[in-house]
Structure 1
Amino acid sequence: MENVYALVKRFYLAHGRANIFVARTLVERYLRAAAWRGRSNEDLCTDWYCIEDFLTVIQRRDDSLARLFIRIDYLALFFRYADAHIDRRPLKRHAEDYFARMRAFLTYLEDTGDYDIDIGELDADLEMFYITGRFRLPERVMWEEIEGLTIEDIEEDERIEMEELNIQLNDLLHRIGEYFRCPAYQLDIGRAATIYTGGLYDMNEYEHASEEEKETFWLRFWDYFFFDYHLIATDETPIAHYSEHMWKKLSYDDREIIGDLLAARFALLAVTEEYDDHVVCRDILRDEEVVLPHPDIPGSLSKSILFGHICDEGMMMLNYITAIPASKRLQKRIGDTIQREYKLFRMQAHEATMDDFLEREAALVRHTIHVLSTLAQLDVLPRRLLPAAIPRTIDPHVCAEELGALQIIADKIGFSRHSQVLMCELFLDYAQSDLARAQTAETLTATIFLFAEINDIDLSPITELYHVLGSDQKTVRAALARMRTALRCVTYDPRYLGEEGFVTMLYSVVHGKANF
């Protein structure tokens, strides 16, 4: 077999233009590094055959794409390679080997810092072999490179693809919306609207709003509902619930989009640099740099903050984003306030990260941004001494029967799955101090009333609740007082505050309705 470096030399003598895209010295350096690691000449030649075919087709492009390796059909390249170097129908090991070699070479080029390479295209084409769940040779495709392809051609193709993708996305979101408009989810829609509006939305004002204002309201509501709201029965987000229940009925493209939507994360961004096609932002809450396509929002964004859901993996790069004017001082006040809210949240979820907080309490964050940016409000959180978190020492299994009964009753009343978890935490904290009294009918009933009291939920109309477990109003109230004292509970106690409770707490401070 001929020496691999002789093969490289012969190719570059015949295809000098390839140097514009990948210099011969770069290829030889890559192969020598592999040789030093003990790989044989035969193995290096296989590397070269993969690289050679790649260079043969890539050099047909315009010089403007010399360092931009995107829009490459690796599936077609594999079939070209297989025709020339595999003397049988390709097997799984052939495909895996080819894509592994190409990944190693492209990663090497990318690590030089001189290339912009979309490795995701390589991974996506490899996935085509496993589209049925196991290895299967996909339909043969041919390389259809356009001679002299330019960066302008690619940008135009991307624009058209993005338009088509937006149509697919809007169609999918419409179908998801229709799915949740059925009677089974009406309680969830109502609860979500209450949390999203803070229970303060003026329906008369809505009726007199313009069509554009109404459309904006619903766009923002559905963005919250799909990504941030948690269903009463399952505690899933609607996007996750829809994906779980409808996956088998979704097309391949819909599954790709759903996967990207599930990876979306809520972010609060300060714009640091603005360009025609993109913006550079600082994630205020995570202290990270984020680069996004320029949102379709009129006016300069240099003195604005953006908030909403971003996807930095996969096809979807930007979801519904809201921009509001914000000075540096306001940006800092918003960031500092949300950090304080995060600390309150960690009193009930001690190991929670900022991502955990935003996944659970995005509604609180949205309301915080709204209040601090639109009202003459310096603070939205109560200033008071808080009780210390109680280390868990009791084994929950000791109270398994009581916890089960508590969840059944709370579920019948309509408390969400997450509220039931917090209610059980409240019960267990008290059980640690007085297990004998905790395991009584009046204490179980008092737990529900105390949780409701902390979250400013009125259960007084449900008078029969006092008697469900065989107790009465007097003994339940006495048990409630004992629990409140033992746990040193305060109004809107963050240890047991649900999603609705956090939002209610904020507006109680804003409107001066709470006595702290």
Structure 2
Amino acid sequence: MKNVYDQVRIFYEEETDWGVPVKKDWVEGFLRQKAWQGANDKELQMLWQNIERFLLYLAYAGMNDLDEVTLAEYSTGIVWLAEQMPAFKKNVANVRQYFAVLIEFYQYLKNKKVIFDLTLLEDAARVIAGGKKLDLTAAIEGSDTAALFDADVDQTLEKISSVITEDMSQKLNGVVERLMVKLGSYFHQENFNDDFDRALYLYTGPFEGVPDNDHDEFWLGFWDYFLFDYHLLQTDKTPLTYFFQNACDKLTSDEREILKNLLNAKFSVFYISKVLNQDWVECTNLFTDETFQLPIPNFDYKTLKRLLFFGHVFAQGMIMINYVTSIEVSPNLRKRIKEEILRQQQMLFVGQSSSDLNEFFSRHAQAVRHSIDVLVTLAKVNVINPEYLDREYPIIAGNSIPSNEVLKKIDQVAADYRFSAYDIRQMKKLWHDYCQVAKVVIRKSGTWAAALLYAYAQINHISHVIVEELARDLEVSASSVRSNRNKLFDALTLNRFDARYISEEGFMYLIFYPNT
């Protein structure tokens, strides 16, 4: 019998035309590492045998990327191997060994930075071979892409095909799943760590943290928020938009088509107003009264009309995301939720003069989620103190051109203090407005830049911006920063949570700030 490395060499020489998405060097490196760790020839043969089976299925299925392999594909692969290779017995022990080898191999690839995640593989192993019997249907039927409403995939993907068979529908579910895996791997890269941490904080709020245990519901909800509603620090784009603009070449044509559909999704709060028949319900948008139809969700009939849903709905009224939240509320509470959110939107409209409901949801969808949660769980009369809702602001008129040197300083230092691109725009607006209402004398541009950062932080209840540190970093005096900060507050009658300059963090703090 040839040694294992000869077998690997022969495999790659014979299967060159198959386009296997795993390099020969990766396999050899993994086997050599196992040999160094003490694996004998028999164990190495077993490792290679299982990897070879996996590679043969990938070649058969036309997979060009390990990230494309979904739960459904892992399940289908087991069936295919059992049919094509008599030596591969379709039993729990054999399949567990197969997955154990793949998990070890994937861990090696992850350590080498070839892949970013092996969670989907581990989930497949658990679903398919984690019980007393093999479950080769759960991976397909229990796809993570299943929505609260069992939307028919072919309606969402009309551009791909006008006639969708049941087999094609399952395949499209696999395409959606592969897309989600690629999105997850892409945003798990190190350069998005700050965004990921910030998004978690905005999602949980200031008084909660990430659950200690592996809560699927929490992470489904988080990824829904992160992909659709979060705004990246450096670009202020949502992750979906950023991925579409910068990484679309990593996708297949079907995946790109689905991503285009996802980009059209709108955050919506709605309830069921009418049960049309055993298959369909009529839904009403809580804020616009627009109606649309959806497949009937899997709830008790008596409960349906007491549920309030919030999630992302396509223009054609089709949900196709991982997570939609539902809560049971009374008609009175539903009315209070509507009134509270509209008051918040009106507060921003008064402060910023251009925040219509769509803009409000686009910027502050997570604030809407938090507000609903506060009203439901804490039984508060108001989420936001009426004091903040009833403010009036001076009209800013004038065309004075702000000092460009101050703007440059803001660009240079704001990101170092973890401010986002949106925050920087808001600071520049603050500087512009001040220059219209006051005579500005600039001795050191750094003093005014530090004052703007400090004032903006105080407006938005941000505690990590310390005036002494700002002064030291910009080589100015702390007393001059405080003096200029006071000038800003006095000239523009600034207040905490000022709607003209409120940030995403500031809006979150406003919701959780005590009603005093």
Q: TM-score under structure 1 normalisation?
A: 0.64
Q: 2:412 aligns with which of 389, 408, 426?
A: 408
Within 5 Å, which residues of 2 pair with 1:292-331?
292-296=294-298, 300-313=303-316, 317=320, 320-331=323-334
Shift of 1:403: 1.5
* Native 8 Å contact 2:467 2:482 kept in 1: no
* Native 8 Å contact 2:467 2:481 kept in 1: no
Aligned residues: 358
3-state SS of the aligned residue for 2:206? Answer: coil
Q: 1:484 aligns with which of 474, 484, 489?
A: 489
Shift of 1:279: 2.2
**Superposed CA RMSD:** 2.7
Within 5 Å, which residues of 2 pair with 1:254-333?
254-274=255-275, 275-296=277-298, 300-313=303-316, 317=320, 320-333=323-336
* Native 8 Å contact 2:400 2:435 kept in 1: no
Measure the CA separation in 1 of the matches of 2:449 and 2:165.
60
CA deviations on 1:14-71 (whole Å, 9 max, x unpaired) are xxxxxxxxxxxxxxxxxxxxxxxxxxxxxxxxxxxxxxxxxxxxxxxxxxxxxxxxxx
Within 5 Å, which residues of 2 pair with 1:327-476?
327-384=330-387, 385-396=390-401, 398-437=402-441, 440-441=444-445, 442-461=447-466, 463-476=468-481
Measure the CA separation in 2 of the matches of 1:508 and 1:284.
26
Aligned to 1:180: 187
* Native 8 Å contact 2:224 2:321 kept in 1: no
* Native 8 Å contact 2:203 2:366 kept in 1: yes
What code does the residue aligned with 1:201 have? Answer: E
Measure the CA separation in 2 of the matches of 1:408 and 1:359.
28
CA change 1:389–1:241 in 2 (3 A) is farther
3-state SS of the aligned residue for 1:494? Answer: coil
Shift of 1:469: 3.6
Shift of 1:347: 3.6
Shift of 1:401: 2.7
* Native 8 Å contact 1:227 1:237 kept in 2: yes
* Native 8 Å contact 1:196 1:224 kept in 2: yes
CA change 1:319–1:393 in 2 (3 A) is farther
Residue 222 of structure 1 pairs with residue 223 of structure 2: yes
CA deviations on 1:393-423 (whole Å, 9 max, x unpaired) are 2254x43332122122112222000011111
* Native 8 Å contact 1:273 1:279 kept in 2: yes
3-state SS of the aligned residue for 2:386? Answer: coil
Aligned to 1:28: none
* Native 8 Å contact 2:351 2:393 kept in 1: no
Mark the runs of 5 or more structure 2 residues left unpaired by the alignment. 1-153
* Native 8 Å contact 2:341 2:368 kept in 1: yes
- Greater displacement, 188-197 / 167-176: 167-176
Q: 2:177 aligns with which of 143, 146, 170?
A: 170
Within 5 Å, which residues of 2 pair with 1:65-104?
none
CA deviations on 1:429-476 (whole Å, 9 max, x unpaired) are 111122423675323211110100011111355733114444211111
Measure the CA separation in 2 of the matches of 1:355 and 1:178.
30
Measure the CA separation in 1 of the matches of 2:509 and 2:157.
46
CA change 1:163–1:306 in 2 (3 A) is farther
What code does the residue aligned with 2:289 have? Answer: D
* Native 8 Å contact 2:293 2:317 kept in 1: no
Aligned to 1:109: none
Residue 232 of structure 1 pairs with residue 233 of structure 2: yes
Measure the CA separation in 2 of the matches of 1:123 and 1:256.
8
CA deviations on 1:299-341 (whole Å, 9 max, x unpaired) are 6321111100111349865652111111111111001111011
What code does the residue aligned with 1:194 have? Answer: Y
Measure the CA separation in 2 of the matches of 1:251 and 1:471.
54
* Native 8 Å contact 1:437 1:443 kept in 2: no
3-state SS of the aligned residue for 2:257? Answer: helix
Measure the CA separation in 1 of the matches of 2:279 and 2:270.
17
Residue 497 of structure 1 pairs with residue 502 of structure 2: yes
Measure the CA separation in 1 of the matches of 2:503 and 2:362.
13
Aligned to 2:92: none
Measure the CA separation in 2 of the matches of 1:301 and 1:285.
19
Q: TM-score under structure 2 normalisation?
A: 0.64
What code does the residue aligned with 2:409 have? Answer: A
Report the identity percentage. 30
3-state SS of the aligned residue for 1:496? Answer: coil
Measure the CA separation in 1 of the matches of 2:347 and 2:458.
18
Measure the CA separation in 2 of the matches of 1:218 and 1:164.
25
CA deviations on 1:58-112 (whole Å, 9 max, x unpaired) are xxxxxxxxxxxxxxxxxxxxxxxxxxxxxxxxxxxxxxxxxxxxxxxxxxxxxxx
Measure the CA separation in 2 of the matches of 1:448 and 1:267.
34
Aligned to 2:197: 190
CA change 1:294–1:312 in 2 (3 A) is farther
Determine which structure has more spread, i.e. the larger CA radius of gyration.
Answer: 1
3-state SS of the aligned residue for 2:311? Answer: strand
Measure the CA separation in 2 of the matches of 1:460 and 1:448.
8
* Native 8 Å contact 2:460 2:497 kept in 1: yes
